[in-house]
């Protein structure tokens, strides 16, 4: 009886790992597809009108910003699924905060283009609560 229970627990553990591996593979495949779409949008920003018909000059900078945010979202979701270690996540968290503090990503995130609408609610909450609220206010030059 005890032997059967041990086998069951081991088998269940293997199934959970396999499930996580499959989920991670699917997410990575979707990420690859998104990367290709973003690459095309960076090369030809006018293609962004297919996704958003906002009257604006959509530039390579905007397309690249979307790609960076999408990469951040991917890192966030892999951390949620416990695919990356706490140490790796700390590095990503620092990188994200630095980009929002020192670069123009925050301006795009908070702009009329409403980039946050392109990401899932959990990632939006994460950016708003763990990144934007925890960095120093943008200095006026």
In this predicted structure, what is the pLDDT of residue 2?
55
Q: Is the pLDDT of residue 41 over 90?
A: no
Mean pLDDT of 64-82: 89
Average pLDDT, the chain: 79
pTM exceeds 0.85 for this model: no
Distance, CA of 115 to CA of 63 (rounded, Å): 11
φ and ψ of 85, to 5 deg? -75, 165
Q: Is the pLDDT of residue 6 over 60?
A: no
**According to the model, what pLDDT value does residue 138 have?**
62
């Amino acid at each position: 009886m005890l032997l059967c229970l041990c086998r069951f627990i081991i088998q269940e553990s293997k199934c959970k790992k396999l499930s996580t591996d499959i989920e991670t593979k699917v997410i990575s495949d979707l990420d690859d597809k998104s990367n290709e779409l973003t690459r095309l949008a960076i090369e030809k920003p006018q293609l962004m009108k297919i996704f958003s018909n906002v009257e604006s000059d959509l530039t390579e900078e905007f397309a690249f910003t979307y790609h960076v945010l999408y990469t951040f979202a991917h890192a966030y979701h892999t951390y949620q699924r416990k695919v990356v270690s706490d140490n790796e996540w700390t590095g990503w968290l620092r990188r994200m905060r630095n980009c929002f503090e020192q670069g123009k990503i925050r301006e795009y995130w908070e702009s009329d283009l409403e980039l946050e609408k392109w990401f899932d609610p959990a990632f939006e909450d994460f950016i708003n609560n763990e990144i934007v609220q925890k960095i120093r206010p943008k200095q006026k030059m």
